[in-house]
Amino acid sequence: MRLRGLALLLTFAASIAASTPASRGQAAAPAAPARDDIVNTLSKFDSGPDLDIAALKQTVLEKSRSRSRKEPEPSKRPLVVPDIVSLPTFNFNIQFDVDTPVILPESYETVGRLADALVNAPLLPYTFLIVGHSQSTGKREANVILSQRRADAIRDVLINTFKISSKRLQSLGLGEEQFIDQAHPTSSVNQQIQVVTIGKLPEEAAPPAATPAAKKSAKKKKK
């Protein structure tokens, strides 16, 4: 119930932001994805690799600092974390303030929708990796650092505001070291946040699903 209430508050804030005319040259925020679409995509998990996130963060950062003359052009760089490509992944258009990890109000609804999906029964047994990316513009190391801060910001909101268990969420910033759209390194698609299903919780650690009574109360509150 508390989680639903928080999601409704964020939805209300987003609706107010959406009703405010966009400033000149600023594109309207994309519509929030449907909760069921998120659930259906991320629940299609069978098994996955054992990822050492701390080691991956160090590898990505070191890669961004490389200055080899033989370094391939951005569209031909090898994947730094190829293991996550085949895992269930949902892409989110989350808007941030320029060069900061501050989430803009027009994306509150999207973050709330993600939180709502993560506490839906089919996703409760799973753990997730929140992945930040960037376009191939600016300094590579700075892009990795910013993408990590943005992934951390999403994780922090889910944990601190929506009370998602920290055991279920990890974050990784890939910057421009691994593009979403490899063929188009400067595409805005490469600024999206990805949520990837990476594993299962031990059965004793999985959070309980909402009871029918709680669901009924949440529906009444939503009305």
pLDDT (tens digit per residue) in 123-149 = 999 999 999 999 888 899 999 999 999
Alpha-carbon distance values, 139 to 65, 101, 105, 148, 174 (Å): 9, 17, 27, 14, 13
* Cβ-based neighbour number of residue 202 at 10 Å: 8
Give the residue extent of every domain in the chain.
2-222
pLDDT at 5: 47
Contact assessment for residue 108 and residue 17, using Cβ atoms and an 8 Å cutoff: yes
Contact assessment for residue 155 and residue 170, using Cβ atoms and an 8 Å cutoff: yes
pLDDT at 209: 63
Q: Which residues of the chain have pLDDT under 50?
A: 1-3, 5-26, 211-223
User: In this structure, which amino acid lies at residue 3?
Assistant: L
Q: Alpha helix locations (H) across the chain?
A: 2-19, 35-42, 53-64, 108-118, 140-160, 212-222
As given in the structure block, the two tokens for residue 143 are: 């892009």
Residue 200's SS3 state is: strand
pLDDT at 66: 83
> Which CATH superfamily is 2-222 part of?
OmpA-like domain (3.30.1330.60)
How many Å apart are CA 118 and CA 31, to the nearest integer?
A: 19
Specify the residue for token string 């996550």. 84
pTM over 0.95: no
